[in-house]
Amino acid sequence: MPRRKIIRDGKNVLLYLNRKRSYLVRVEKGKSFHTHKGFIEFDSLIGKKYGTSLFSSLGVEFVALEPILRDFVFKAQRRTQILYPKDIALIVMFGGIGPGCRVVEAGTGAGALTTALAFYVRPRGRIYSYEVRPEFQEIAHKNLEKAKLEKYVQLKNQDVTLGIDEVDVDTVVLDLPTPWLVVPHAYAALKGSGGLVSFSPTIDQIVKTVEALEDNGFVDVGTFECLMRGMQVIRGRTRPQTLMTGHTGYLTYARKALR
Amino acid sequence: MPRRKIIRDGKNVLLYLNRKRSYLVRVEKGKSFHTHKGFIEFDSLIGKKYGTSLFSSLGVEFVALEPILRDFVFKAQRRTQILYPKDIALIVMFGGIGPGCRVVEAGTGAGALTTALAFYVRPRGRIYSYEVRPEFQEIAHKNLEKAKLEKYVQLKNQDVTLGIDEVDVDTVVLDLPTPWLVVPHAYAALKGSGGLVSFSPTIDQIVKTVEALEDNGFVDVGTFECLMRGMQVIRGRTRPQTLMTGHTGYLTYARKALR
Amino acid sequence: MPRRKIIRDGKNVLLYLNRKRSYLVRVEKGKSFHTHKGFIEFDSLIGKKYGTSLFSSLGVEFVALEPILRDFVFKAQRRTQILYPKDIALIVMFGGIGPGCRVVEAGTGAGALTTALAFYVRPRGRIYSYEVRPEFQEIAHKNLEKAKLEKYVQLKNQDVTLGIDEVDVDTVVLDLPTPWLVVPHAYAALKGSGGLVSFSPTIDQIVKTVEALEDNGFVDVGTFECLMRGMQVIRGRTRPQTLMTGHTGYLTYARKALR
Amino acid sequence: MPRRKIIRDGKNVLLYLNRKRSYLVRVEKGKSFHTHKGFIEFDSLIGKKYGTSLFSSLGVEFVALEPILRDFVFKAQRRTQILYPKDIALIVMFGGIGPGCRVVEAGTGAGALTTALAFYVRPRGRIYSYEVRPEFQEIAHKNLEKAKLEKYVQLKNQDVTLGIDEVDVDTVVLDLPTPWLVVPHAYAALKGSGGLVSFSPTIDQIVKTVEALEDNGFVDVGTFECLMRGMQVIRGRTRPQTLMTGHTGYLTYARKALR
């Protein structure tokens, strides 16, 4: 997902209509994209700068934005439980993840979090992503290819609760129903001082995970939740938005101490 | 801030005592570090792995962790208004910031956010950070040096409300009292489809900033806040923590459409 | 709304099906009530105790509960902006409202808040409720009658921004678009030390109202919001609910100091 | 706590200094009250209206407010875990409590909640309040006397987990460490359709309580939490307050179905 200025054949574009509707599409010479607001011919976009406005066949204005990580994350998740950009951002921060990191992830799911992890560890880091369900691996692979991040990721069709192949990794990221079963394997896979981050919706999961972390030599163990609330910002009528997601999940983090 | 395994002379270590107390120190051959729980001789750490436990002169156990971005962010901010890791994580995500990005930041302050931005754009990206108060530039420089990220940052002692020198940047990040005054300059500095993120504590600031964004050709404009609440996780006594920061600031994001 | 034990002809019953569906109905001898789960004959209820279970014609179990204030409040509001039980509870608490109080309210709307105020000031208090829109007065009257609280309320089809007739009242409760216009009249109507409570959704409204209160001799002025989040409580799967109302309104309170 | 207009000898006054400091005192002829801002002679207050301003011996202005329930609740709780006005308001609303209700409460503690319950059930209702620790009963009695609400309350030095003497009560209110042990007794004490409200800080408590309620014939069982956040309202600088109480407790409510 390197940042570019000019829209080329084969590249992704986010066709932005308004706050509620936008389309992540791949530009293809000679083809067009159809929406309920008319169609858009890709040839009229090729060679233009990202950020360009254009009109559909029905005269409706779209802006051709360069997709960013947030767009790939949102669009990747149609078929699975949603992981929000806020949660992904916090996983990356509390996992100490950045360029050059080697990260183990489980489970892959549709690859939304995988995409984000790959994005942040570029160009020299690598993601080892475990998933037991083969059908999800295919979806994840497509989503990674779309974001052009597949080369940073090794998708592994293995049960992470049976063990992790890698050693001396920087961070282990868990987003699966039984994170506590992976904690001993994560300890073995992590380098000294390496970080673990686990994302879970229920109290039962965080209690079991925190206990497993404390029993297995982790320190700096903490759990929190993050509530995101949109604001309606209009002069004279500014107020928080009525609709809000009340809960996505709890984030637990820890670091490996050597025994 | 590349990740390492072995503690060497001159490197940073986070001496972790407990959830409430840890010390970010630089290891120096022949020297020691004094705490209220006794002193620690650095020579006993050099050559050991990060994650190693050690005992102070008073027999209290510490863990020598490898500092991660979150630690540098926390420790950098003693003298200025605090920007929390959660806010920094969201700024990075909603600004579309990652490896290779060229980012303009204003103002620098003590450099906590600057440190984070530099961390994420490595190794080929660059941060151009504006600050009118020269005394803060020095503090920021020291904090960047501590995190070994100074080479990714150009600190500029200039008033960003008068203009931005750079062009075609990927993202502009604003954390200053009058972000709306910078919006036209940010538009000029950004490449098409480039992102802007602004962090402000008051309603008045977000109203003026959103108006400036909408008046200056930005699209996909949104504002939200994020409430973080710690959990006390103990079997049989799990509950949210009593103390909580009720407000840090609102985050506004937008993308540049070409006119 | 006096509490009773036995279901009689002409009384209200809450036919409770499950957490999501219940029906507030008036028991009428010889008649029946139809739901998508079958019909219920009222004669089978008359003479039974509140709390009794019964089966519909389709064999589905209902519980015949005695309606409480919360039920009347919920059911009264189909056609207007919703005021939640939590907000009503806080208005009553921060307004210092209880048995014997004389309270001015504006505007009446569908009478949900009016019903609650009448409920709490019984048997010797009184509510004077202002409303400019005559069509709402009728709805409010019906809702008050349903709850058998009409005798504690005087509905006034008057514009409260032009003045309040009553004097020496204990509390003034405002739930209308321009509360700041009523503040001087509220001051005149209140006894020394009397309370004012105002409920508004936007920032602009609370700024103008707080300024009016401070300019007009009120002290102990404060504003807050209250976020209510439901919990899914199931052993092993306990967690906050996903859906949540992110904002209803801000509550501003104050007390009259004599000048 | 009937509302009055004139300050008399022996009555309570809230000497209001500012948002952070106020004093709930009893006016006594010939005596004075000392604060760090000078002393106030009670004789200068007797015969004046509530709401009157006066100056201390050091020339600092105070307002002599008539105390409301919220003041008694706040001032009653110096020595025990705090129950906030918001929680008390919600207990009253979700318990269906109002004038005329007969309510069983456990435990009494310092009597803050008892005071509130007595306030709302006046003049014909009654509170039966259980407490095993005799030392708290005395404190509660003093707090009730101060608010002149003692005649509506019967304080009982009994262990409520062993049983409840009363029958056909309207509501049972639980604020004690093991509410689930009281649920069967509450069922026996309640009239058909009567309400139960329980306030608990931990997840474990709400899981056990909800299970006990569902196992013992209650319906309409729900649990929620309420987060209250103060606003700093100043034109141009309006924002949520930084400090916030992140958690007080969860409120569970239910109603008795007859078996």
**pLDDT tens sequence across C201-245:** 999 999 999 999 999 999 999 999 999 999 999 999 999 999 999
Report the SS3 class of residue B159: coil
pLDDT category at D2 given cuts 50, 70, 90 is low
The dihedral through the CA atoms of A51, A53, A57, A59 has a sign that is positive
Work out the average pLDDT over C137-144: 94
Average pLDDT value over all residues in chain A: 94
| Banded model confidence at residue D164, pLDDT cuts 50, 70, 90 | very high
Least Cα separation, residue A177 to chain C (angstroms): 11
**Global pTM exceeds 0.90:** yes
CATH hierarchy code of domain A12-67: 3.10.330.20
Nearest in space to A95 (alpha carbons), one of A195, A169, A186: A195
B104 phi and psi angles, rounded to 5 deg: -95, 130
| Nearest CB to A207 within list B50, B221, B235 | B235
Interface probe, candidates D170, D219, D238, chain C, greatest C C-beta count within 10 A? D219
Q: Per-residue confidence at D146, pLDDT binned at 50, 70, 90?
A: very high
Q: What is the pLDDT of residues D184-224, one digit of tens each?
A: 999 999 999 999 999 999 999 999 999 999 999 999 999 99
Is D247 in Cβ contact with B246 (below 8 Å)? Answer: no
Facing C238 at nearest CB: one of D86, D124, D207: D207
Q: What is the mean pLDDT of chain C?
A: 94
Q: What is the pLDDT of residue B194?
A: 95
Q: In chain A, which residues have their Cβ closer than 8 Å to the Cβ of B90?
A: 86, 89
pLDDT confidence of residue A81: 66
Query: Is residue A213 within 8 Å of A254, Cβ to Cβ?
Result: yes
CB contact under 8 A, D256 and C66: no
Peptide bond into C107 cis (omega under 30): yes
DSSP reduced 3-state for B138: helix
Task: List CB contacts (< 8 A) between B248 and chain D.
Answer: 242
Q: Does residue D1 have a pLDDT over 60?
A: no
Among the listed residues A65, A37, A18, the one whose alpha carbon sits nearest the alpha carbon of residue B258? A65
Q: What are the backbone angles phi and psi of residue B140, rounded to the nearest 5°?
A: -60, -40
Candidate from A204, A229, A237 with C-beta closest to C202: A237
User: Which positions in chain B touch D246 (Cβ < 8 Å)?
Assistant: 229-230, 240-244
pLDDT (average), residues D61-69: 94
Contact list in D for residue B243 (CB cut-off 8 A) is 245-246
List of chain A residues whose C-beta atoms are within 8 Å of the C-beta of residue C244:
244-247
Q: Give the DSSP letter of residue D44.
A: G
User: In a 3-state reduction of DSSP, which class is residue A174?
Assistant: strand
pLDDT in tens, D76-86: 766 566 789 99
The per-residue pLDDT for D79 is 58
CA-only gyration radius of chain D, Å: 20
Has residue C1 got a pLDDT over 60? no
Q: Which residues of D touch B180 (CB under 8 A)?
A: none
Pick from B178, B189, B258: which is nearest to B212 by CA? B178
Give the pLDDT band (50/70/90) at residue B82: confident
The token duo for B3 is: 């990740």
Q: Which pLDDT score is estimated for A78?
A: 62
B5 — pLDDT class (breaks 50, 70, 90): confident
**What pLDDT, on a 0 to 100 scale, did the predictor assign at position B259?**
83
D-interface mutation test, from B84, B235, B239, most D Cβ less than 10 A away: B239
* Model confidence at A79: pLDDT above 80: no
Residues C70-119: pLDDT tens digits?
999 888 766 566 789 999 999 999 999 999 999 999 999 999 999 999 99
pLDDT tens column, B225-258: 999 999 999 999 999 999 999 999 999 999 999 9
- Say yes or no: do domains C12-67 and C70-256 share a fold: no
Whether residue A98 and residue B210 make contact (CB cut-off 8 A), yes or no, is no
pLDDT interval class at A5 (50, 70, 90): confident
Domain boundaries, chain B: 12-65, 70-256
| Confidence check: pLDDT of C144 > 60 | yes
Q: Which of A204, A237, A243 has its CB closest to that of C246?
A: A243
Residue-wise pLDDT tens digits, B168-189: 999 999 999 999 999 999 999 9
| Structural domain C70-256, CATH architecture | 3-Layer(aba) Sandwich (3.40)
SS3 readout for chain C: CCCCCECCCCCEEEEEEECCEEEEEECCCCCEEEECCEEEEHHHCCCCECCCEEECCCCCEEEEECCCHHHHHHHCCCCCCCCCHHHHHHHHHHCCCCCCCEEEEECCCCCHHHHHHHHHHCCCCEEEEECCCHHHHHHHHHHHHHCCCHHHEEEECCCHHHCCCCCCEEEEEECCCCHHHCHHHHHHHEEEEEEEEEEECCHHHHHHHHHHHHHCCEEEEEEEEEEEEEEECCCCCCEECCEEECCCCEEEEEEECCC
Amino acid, res. D129: S
- In tens, the pLDDT along A40-77 reads 999 999 999 999 999 999 999 999 999 999 999 888 77
CA atoms of B120 and B101, how far apart (whole Å): 9
A18 pLDDT tier (thresholds 50, 70, 90): very high
Q: Give the per-residue pLDDT at A152.
A: 98
| Mutation site for C-interface testing, chosen from A207, A226, A239 by largest number of C Cβ within 10 Å | A239
Other chains touching B, judged by 3 or more CB pairs under 8 Å:
A, D
| H/E stretch holding D88 | helix D85-94
Is C228 in contact with D223 (Cβ distance < 8 A)? Answer: no
Confidence of residue B193 (pLDDT cuts 50, 70, 90): very high
pLDDT at A176: 96
Out of A53, A255, A258, closest to residue B258 by CB = A53
Of C87, A170, D242, the C-alpha closest to B2 is A170
Q: Which residue of D has its CA nearest to B247?
A: D242
- Determine the residue of chain A that is closest to B22 in CA distance: A220
Please tell me the distance from the alpha carbon of residue C34 to that of residue A225, in angstroms, as a whole number.
44
Size of interface A-C (CB pairs under 8 A): 57
CATH 1.10.10.10 for domain B12-65, yes or no, is no
